[in-house]
Structure 1
Amino acid sequence: MALHFCERYKIMVLKIGSKFELRRFCRTTGIVALLKLGSVVNPDDLGYVDSISVEEIGGARVTVVRNEQGRNSVTTVLLQASTDSILNDLERAVDDGVNTYKALCRDSRIVPGAAATEIELARKLKEFSFKETGLDQYTIAKFGECFEMIPKTLAENIGHNATEIIASLYVEHSSGNVRVGIDLEEGACKDVSSLNIWDLFVTKFHALKYAADAVCTVLRVDQIIMSKPAGGPSRRDQHAGMDNED
């Protein structure tokens, strides 16, 4: 009956079953969601949209809400690709970009990218290991070598000799050029600040912190739990039982 009167008075009705989508719709239009139909509607609770239309995108009928004049803070990014694999890669790329911007809003510190930071950390740890004595020296040195995996992977992905790339990076950083990284397009070692290649400090910090915590957790394990195959006794146990009976 309610839909009949809405149709009679040219009132558009949208059915939104998801609470998340309802919140997005309210942010887009600037309206306030009312829990009861009998609530008093204030003029400030009303929203505004430029247009609402039903369109077919990718074989699915969707409701498109356009609000360019209402100063809304919601934007929909439409991705299209020929295969699901490419579409998933595009979605991850957009998601990484959005999360990077959100992280920059919280902490704007950045460090040189393209493996420049990892090589500098490896060099500093190796220099620090020479000042230690005993087994700690080898532990620190091996921990520093772990950072070489990033430039090694980048060099192998572009089809270059990883050993030569890492050696060139060490030479540049030892000379004081701490911002020298790997140029993936030319396969050479260049100053990444001129190429505008930067990484988030907070991302590097948490990655190193959680990786070190995971290694320490594994090293603290003082028991090894071995799983046994499910089922009855093995053939060796069966033969042993038969011998005992004899």
Structure 2
Amino acid sequence: MSHLLQPTILLLRDGTDSMEGIGQIISNINAIEAVVEIVKSTLGPRGMDKMITTSKDTTISNDGATILKLLDIEHAAAKILVDIAKSQDNEVGDGTTTVTILAGELLKNAKGFIEDGMNPQIVIRGYKRALEYCLARLESLIIAVDSSPERRREMLLRCAETALNSKLLSSYKAFFAEIVVSAVEKLDSNLLDKDLIGIKEVTGGSINDSFLVSGVAFKKTFSYAGFEQQPKKFTNPKIIILKIELELKSEKENAEIRISNVDDFQSIVDAEWEIIYSKLQEIHKVGAQIVLSKLPIGDLATQWFADRGIFCAGRVSNEDINRVAKATGALLQTTVNNVSPSVLGTCGRFEERQIGAERYNLFEECPSTKSATIILRGGAEQFIKEAERSLNDAIMIVRRCFKTNTVVAGGGATEMELSKGLKKHAVGIAGKEQLVMNMFAKSLEVIPRIIADNAGLDSLDIINRLRSIHFNNDKDGTEDTLYVGVDIVHGTGNNKESFVWEPLLVKVNALKAATEAACTILSIDETVRNPKSEQEEQQRRIKKSIPNAGKRR
């Protein structure tokens, strides 16, 4: 035979599902659009909330990162978008919804090119070229802020208010912006460690009853009999922090000992008592008035401390222990043998105070105030949890402003100016990339358009007005028109004068993350699903849904 039949080569496992080519890219884009449809109504000062119900809990939120996390998305390509949006939240704390919407719009506009047969690499190259221009153009849109302490603090307050504008706390944005800025100012200016700002939720009371503690506050820990006899207020106390268990343990839990008579047993019991009493005496001898420990403090130690006017708290969480150490200067001790006064910390005032239905331990007026605690009040648990997420975003934004000290106008003003400049820049680009860059410019307009839609405005009219204002800026040369964006009251307005500001870093990261997400999705032209991995995933889900599944009875 002159021609031999080529044998069939089975490369993948039988039953493997694969999809490739243009159909795969379009399918991925459609999945991203479905995610965008869910979150886009949360953008802006009048964004709506989402209620996500799971088997364990119900969450009401308009925070993009929270929604994407709770959706538990299964589509492989959509997961990429979720991961990139999470990176935005981890890096700058805000802008996850912007990243999701902008990436979705870039992909939506690229779909037409892909369907017409354009190579995805041309689209990717055009998008990356457009991003380079936008990042360079942003430098000329920075709002100049006076570096004096008063003006700098005003900038921080405005950025905090802008971050809270689209949140549940928007009606109280001025009140909470002051709290957030004051909390960040108390941190070490070089590190600005967010973990040193605690947010404690106390159900009950008005949201306006929330306040800032210039130091550390944590909920009263589990206590034994004798605790109420301890003093609950100190001035300039000496504080010791331990990782020691001050509790009598039954000998059977720790060792097995053979004894021949009752006296031997009594000597063992006496030795245990002597050990714990020696520890307590060492703590008392060093002059400590407040004893905090990560491990339990038993009833014997609690009563012993009460008899000597010493306050103690056991089972304090790592987070709270670390913040107390930073604020008071105390050093964590794993033994009390030969402990010296140099390891003790102090604060101006300690008090155990009733807040709502809970009792809290407050360490205030600390000498090295590198920590702060926000006591958050409110009527409903869901409200308080969403308020905590809102404050977290505002804290992250203020931290970034504190470091960079550069802001740009919000409300879609920056996106409109970038869109205008990119369209003019694209005129000088030859080939298909010009079309792609024009589409990138069009995609940027999605931010002001959705802000207007969510505010109940005519988005078509708003976008046309914004285009006219920004394009005419080159003719009349008015600098203020650079900062005109969506105003939810008047339709359009100067967001620089309205103090609707965003940190430059948030805008830069959002553009980079959205473009990266879009280019990553466009570069995927094949998905292979291994049947074995699908079976393992199915078994994992069954075990997760049935607590005792897979366990031998």
SS at match of 2:361: strand
Residue in structure 2 matched with residue 170 of structure 1 by the alignment: 467
Aligned counterpart for 2:313 among listed residues 14, 17, 27: 14
Residue in structure 2 matched with residue 158 of structure 1 by the alignment: 455
How far residue 201 of structure 1 moved from its aligned partner, in angstroms, is 0.6
Aligned counterpart for 1:222 among listed residues 520, 525, 528: 525
Aligned counterpart for 1:136 among listed residues 421, 428, 433: 433
The aligned amino acid for 1:179 is Y
How far residue 222 of structure 1 moved from its aligned partner, in angstroms, is 2.9
How far residue 170 of structure 1 moved from its aligned partner, in angstroms, is 0.9
The aligned amino acid for 2:406 is R
Residue in structure 2 matched with residue 26 of structure 1 by the alignment: 325
CA contact (8 A) 1:16 1:22 kept: no
Residue in structure 2 matched with residue 111 of structure 1 by the alignment: 408
Residue in structure 1 matched with residue 396 of structure 2 by the alignment: 99
Distance of aligned partners of 1:39 and 1:24 in 2 relative to their CA distance in 1, 3 Å threshold: farther
Distance of aligned partners of 1:131 and 1:201 in 2 relative to their CA distance in 1, 3 Å threshold: same
- Structure 1 residues 7-16 or 222-231, which shifts more? 222-231
Distance of aligned partners of 1:164 and 1:31 in 2 relative to their CA distance in 1, 3 Å threshold: same
SS at match of 1:124: helix
Residue in structure 2 matched with residue 193 of structure 1 by the alignment: 496
Where do 1:47-62 residues align within 5 Å?
47-53=346-352, 55=354, 57=356, 59=357, 61-62=358-359
SS at match of 1:225: strand
Residue in structure 2 matched with residue 46 of structure 1 by the alignment: 345
Aligned counterpart for 2:484 among listed residues 165, 175, 180: 180
Question: How far does the alpha carbon of each residue in 1:185-242 deviate from its partner, in whole angstroms, 9 at most, with x for none?
Answer: x2321111111111111111111111111111112223133577979xxxxxxxxxxx
CA contact (8 A) 1:116 1:180 kept: yes
Distance of aligned partners of 1:202 and 1:166 in 2 relative to their CA distance in 1, 3 Å threshold: same
How far residue 153 of structure 1 moved from its aligned partner, in angstroms, is 1.1
Aligned counterpart for 1:89 among listed residues 373, 386, 391: 386
SS at match of 2:351: strand
How far residue 55 of structure 1 moved from its aligned partner, in angstroms, is 2.7
In 1, Cα distance between equivalents of 2:374 and 2:385: 14
SS at match of 2:333: coil
- Structure 1 residues 27-36 or 87-96, which shifts more? 27-36
Residue in structure 2 matched with residue 203 of structure 1 by the alignment: 506
**Unmatched 5+ stretches in structure 1:** 232-246
In 2, Cα distance between equivalents of 1:66 and 1:19: 16
In 1, Cα distance between equivalents of 2:523 and 2:338: 60
The aligned amino acid for 1:207 is A
Question: How far does the alpha carbon of each residue in 1:75-134 deviate from its partner, in whole angstroms, 9 at most, with x for none?
Answer: 221222233332233112211221111101221111111110011111112222222232
Distance of aligned partners of 1:226 and 1:143 in 2 relative to their CA distance in 1, 3 Å threshold: farther
SS at match of 2:402: helix
In 2, Cα distance between equivalents of 1:37 and 1:72: 26
SS at match of 1:64: strand
CA contact (8 A) 2:328 2:368 kept: no
In 2, Cα distance between equivalents of 1:180 and 1:33: 54
- Structure 1 residues 79-88 or 62-71, which shifts more? 62-71
Residue in structure 2 matched with residue 236 of structure 1 by the alignment: none
SS at match of 1:79: strand
Runs of 4+ in 1 over 4 A off after TM superposition: 226-231
Aligned counterpart for 2:334 among listed residues 9, 14, 35: 35
The aligned amino acid for 1:195 is S
In 2, Cα distance between equivalents of 1:69 and 1:226: 58
Residue in structure 1 matched with residue 364 of structure 2 by the alignment: 67
- The percent identity for this pair of structures is 21
Task: Kindly indicate whether residue 441 of structure 2 is the aligned counterpart of residue 149 of structure 1.
Answer: no
In 1, Cα distance between equivalents of 2:395 and 2:374: 11
Task: Kindly indicate whether residue 509 of structure 2 is the aligned counterpart of residue 212 of structure 1.
Answer: no
Scaled by the length of structure 2, the TM-score of the pair is 0.39
SS at match of 2:502: strand
CA contact (8 A) 2:427 2:434 kept: yes
The aligned amino acid for 1:164 is D
CA contact (8 A) 2:349 2:363 kept: yes
How big is the alpha-carbon RMSD for the aligned residues of Structure 1 and Structure 2?
2.4
- Number of corresponding residues: 228
Distance of aligned partners of 1:75 and 1:134 in 2 relative to their CA distance in 1, 3 Å threshold: same
Residue in structure 2 matched with residue 240 of structure 1 by the alignment: none
Distance of aligned partners of 1:228 and 1:36 in 2 relative to their CA distance in 1, 3 Å threshold: closer
SS at match of 2:521: helix
The aligned amino acid for 2:501 is W
How far residue 69 of structure 1 moved from its aligned partner, in angstroms, is 6.4
